[in-house]
């Protein structure tokens, strides 16, 4: 019999705050994390805004020497992991280290380090490259460094599936526990893409908003006037446990992961499948694994990037699976406030689903000013809404046609 998997700890570093509580407070108050780019001089770039993590000092979480040998995306992952472990009241010791695993996704990995070292290569030659370039750059190093910092020796790997990476990580960690490979998994995603080449490449494909004069209005999922996503940085980590293990240590349980669906569009590197068919199948598979009818879903945290194609396709996918119930489900895109955290998005948004269940408050989709007739569902416009939520679904869709849906449920002994 498959094991039940519960959530016992959560950690997040986002453009809205350096922890889960501050992030949640920003979300329910409809606060945008967007602003002018400060991590580099964006003069000459079409997009000069982003959702940056503010006032983050890695030395608050790491030894300074260690920190210098890590990229920013790894700093963010370590910080979120530290909060999640503290929240779960879970100490890693020699006696349990082999039983705890890690899966941390990242769509891009250490792009800041890579871009800086390319400049060193061209300006000063190969002999001046950092010996830590490789181990700072590669996408698995968030998982690798987290295991080293905290002494975690169980299953350890990285998911790389663009904007679905963090959701894939949680889904695969869920399956790892269900099949008995580990009783505890740390899972989530981390990303730090606010660098010149990150902004430049998304500008070149016309994916980013260029609403530089009003950053807080730029991310507007499902709104008729949306013109692209606002890139963001951050990390989200959850502690997942086998139910018996969690009970055995008298852990506080936030909720239960009950469904994971993953599909591929197999159509285009960036455009979603016609009518969102791939996303609809991912949601259907998650519902089937959870043994739920689609009508049992009380809330959807949408992928909702604020790009024209994505928002229309996701809306169509929800309509196709849920039918008339689609018009009764509250749906929000919290990317309207956090921006798009790429590989970290699905992890942070899973945490948001858990908090929605915990608090009975649904975060809004801000900047809903001119409804798109093709996006005609209930997106909880502009103001948070009090409502009981027992079962929540989170969607993550990535370049390459990757689709992931995760379902979490209120904890019921």
For residue 4, give Cα distances in angstroms to 37, 90, 156: 43, 19, 21
Mutual angle of helices 111-124 and 72-88, in 10-degree steps: 160
**Residue 274, pLDDT score:** 81
DSSP class of 223 = B
Can you give the three-state secondary structure of 167-195, one letter per residue? HHHHHHHHHHHHCCCCCEEEEEEEECCCC
For residue 85, give Cα distances in angstroms to 80, 254, 391: 9, 14, 25
Digits of tens for pLDDT over the chain (413 positions)?
689 999 999 999 999 999 999 999 999 999 999 999 999 999 999 999 999 999 999 999 999 999 999 999 999 999 999 999 999 999 999 999 999 999 999 999 999 999 999 999 999 999 999 999 999 999 999 999 999 999 999 999 999 999 999 999 999 999 999 999 999 999 999 999 999 999 999 999 999 999 999 999 999 999 999 999 999 999 999 999 999 999 999 999 999 999 999 999 989 988 888 889 999 999 999 999 999 999 999 999 999 999 999 999 999 999 999 999 999 999 999 999 999 999 999 999 999 999 999 999 999 999 999 999 999 999 999 999 999 999 999 999 999 999 999 999 999 88
**Residue 413, pLDDT score:** 81
What pairs with residue 104 in β-bridges?
188
Domain 260-410 has CATH 3.40.47.10: yes
* Tokens, residue 330: 């509250």
**Residue 273, pLDDT score:** 83
Q: What is the dihedral of CA 280, 282, 288, 294, to 10 degrees?
A: -40
Whether 5-248 and 260-410 share one fold: the answer is: yes
* Tokens, residue 337: 């406030």
Angle 131-119-341 (CA atoms, 0-180°, nearest 5)? 85
CATH homologous superfamily for 5-248?
A: Thiolase/Chalcone synthase (3.40.47.10)
Residue among 232, 217, 310, 193 nearest 12 (CA): 232
Return the domain boundaries, the chain. 5-248, 260-410
Give the sign of the dihedral formed by CA 365, CA 323, CA 394, CA 265: negative
Distance, in Å, from the CA atom of 43 to the CA atom of 360, rounded to the nearest integer, reads 43
Task: Confirm if 167 and 173 have CB atoms less than 8 A apart.
Answer: no
Distance, in Å, from the CA atom of 164 to the CA atom of 189, rounded to the nearest integer, reads 9
Task: Confirm if 394 and 256 have CB atoms less than 8 A apart.
Answer: no
* Tokens, residue 239: 């502690």
* Beta-carbon contacts of residue 162 (< 8 Å; ≥ 6 apart): 107, 342, 343, 398, 399, 400, 402
SS3 71: coil
What pairs with residue 232 in β-bridges?
51
Q: Are β-strands 100-105 and 184-191 bridged in parallel, bridged antiparallel, or unpaired?
A: parallel
Distance, in Å, from the CA atom of 94 to the CA atom of 6, rounded to the nearest integer, reads 23
Which residues are known to be catalytic?
163, 303, 340
Distance, in Å, from the CA atom of 65 to the CA atom of 141, rounded to the nearest integer, reads 16
């Amino acid at each position: 019999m498959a094991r039940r998997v519960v959530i016992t700890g959560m950690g997040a570093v986002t453009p809205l705050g350096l922890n889960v509580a501050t992030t949640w407070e920003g979300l329910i108050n409809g606060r945008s994390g967007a602003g002018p780019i400060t991590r580099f001089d964006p003069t000459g770039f079409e997009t000069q805004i982003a959702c940056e993590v503010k006032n983050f000092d890695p030395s608050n979480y790491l030894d300074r020497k260690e920190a210098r040998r890590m990229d920013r995306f790894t700093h963010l992952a370590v910080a979120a992991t530290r909060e999640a472990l503290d929240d779960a009241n879970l100490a890693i010791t020699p006696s349990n280290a082999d039983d705890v695993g890690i899966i941390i996704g990242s769509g891009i990995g250490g792009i800041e380090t890579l871009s800086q070292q390319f400049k060193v290569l061209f300006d000063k030659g190969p002999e001046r490259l950092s010996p830590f370039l490789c181990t700072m750059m590669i996408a698995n190093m968030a998982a690798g460094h987290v295991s080293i910092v905290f002494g975690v020796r169980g299953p350890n790997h990285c998911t790389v599936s663009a904007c679905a990476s963090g959701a894939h990580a949680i889904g695969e960690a869920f399956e790892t526990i269900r099949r008995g490979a580990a009783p505890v998994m740390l899972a989530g995603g981390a990303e730090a893409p606010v660098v010149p080449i990150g902004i430049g490449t998304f500008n070149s494909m016309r994916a980013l908003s260029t609403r530089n004069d009003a950053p807080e209005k730029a991310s507007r999922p499902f709104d008729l006037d949306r013109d692209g996503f606002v890139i963001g940085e951050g990390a989200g980590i959850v502690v997942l446990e086998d139910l018996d293990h969690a009970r055995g240590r008298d852990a506080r349980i936030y909720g239960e992961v009950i469904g994971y669906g993953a599909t591929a569009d197999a159509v285009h590197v960036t455009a979603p499948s016609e009518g969102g068919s791939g996303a609809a199948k991912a949601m259907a598979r998650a519902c089937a694994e959870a043994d739920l009818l689609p009508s049992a879903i009380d809330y959807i945290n949408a992928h909702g990037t604020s790009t024209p194609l994505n928002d229309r396709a996701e809306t169509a996918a929800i309509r196709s699976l849920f039918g008339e119930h689609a018009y009764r489900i509250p749906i929000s895109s919290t990317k309207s406030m956090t921006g798009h955290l790429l590989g970290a998005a699905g992890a942070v948004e899973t945490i948001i689903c858990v908090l929605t269940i915990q608090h009975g408050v649904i975060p809004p989709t801000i900047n809903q000013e001119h409804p798109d007739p093709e996006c005609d569902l209930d997106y909880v416009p502009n103001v948070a809404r009090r409502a009981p939520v027992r079962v929540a679904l989170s969607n993550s869709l990535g370049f390459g046609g990757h689709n992931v849906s995760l379902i979490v449920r209120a904890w019921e002994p």
